[in-house]
Amino acid sequence: MKIGIYGQFYHENSGTYIQQLLETLNNNDVEVVIEKNFLELINLHDQIDKTYSHFSTFEELDTTYDLFFSIGGDGTILRTITYVRDLGIPIAGINTGRLGFLATIQKEEIKESIYLILNKKFHISPRSLVTIDTIPATQEFGVLNFAMNEIAVSRRNTTSMVTVHTSLNDEFLTSYWADGLIVATPTGSTGYSLSCGGPVMMPDAESMVLTPIAPHNLNARPLVIPDNQEIKLQISGREDSYLVSLDSRVHTLPNETTIHIKKAPFKINMVVLQNDSFLKTLRKKMLWGEDKRN
């Protein structure tokens, strides 16, 4: 078995859990390859006995990997997908951060969770993504023109709102007068979109949601659309440019740039352990339906 490992930060006490992870994998004769910067971070904080192979870019990965561990929080998983991309390698998130809605493996349960994974006691949850193209074409996004949570447009360097002219399959929908607009996937429906009043969608829903950010039009509500729709956005405002974010990656575009957003041609495979589910995560992490009166 061959497993890749990626992390961004060294959270408090995370060294203990990283050691547990590496020891457990070594004891089960698993080939481990660690992202170069994260390996340097591990070596800086901890003494590890084994010399590990490393990777630096997507081009160094291939389909010989059976699994990827993302160590951190949900933001780390969103960075992990920029390495995995369309290779189809399943990603298991180990939460050493805070909420960890996507990173569902708790650091205190690493040994038990790895046992389940090595014995294939898990299933795959395919997650859809969205991609972005622009007219005129821009080099801002390069090959990383996709997002698993959301693509959002928002105002830049101003307290004034922007107007987001929105069309679906070339049919005009409306002009949002707001701080911006979020186009979220089902996975992203529990993130930024939710904090702006958007609905929660099941991960396998074949939908996207348009969620305005602080709209001045009080009748502008979040809209769920089929994921076969192509969304066109044109932005105007007092500034000459606006911000576009793909998950945590932010770019600046001039107002003359038209954005086209659609469903990506590939999915990201998330590992869900046996006896775990999206609904259990909703109840556990978001206290879904919890009421102190009950």
**Residue 217 near residue 179, CB atoms below 8 Å:** no
Q: How far is CA 28 from the centre of its chain?
A: 30
Neighbours of 141 (CB within 10 A): 19
Residues 6+ apart with CB under 8 A from 291: none
Catalytic residue, from 29, 62, 66, 74: name it.
Answer: 74
Main-chain phi, psi angles of 127, to 5 degrees? -115, 125
CA separation for the pair 144, 238 (Å, rounded)? 29
The b-or-e profile of 109-130 (16+ CB within 10 A means b, else e) is: ebeebbebbbeeebeebebbbb
**One-letter identity of residue 202:** M
Closest CA to 86 of 281, 290, 269, 294: 269
Please confirm, yes or no, whether 74 is among the known catalytic residues.
yes
CA separation for the pair 79, 202 (Å, rounded)? 22
Residues 6+ apart with CB under 8 A from 184: 149, 150, 191, 192, 193, 198, 208, 209, 211
Q: Tokens 């294939």 appear where?
A: 120
Catalytic residues: 74
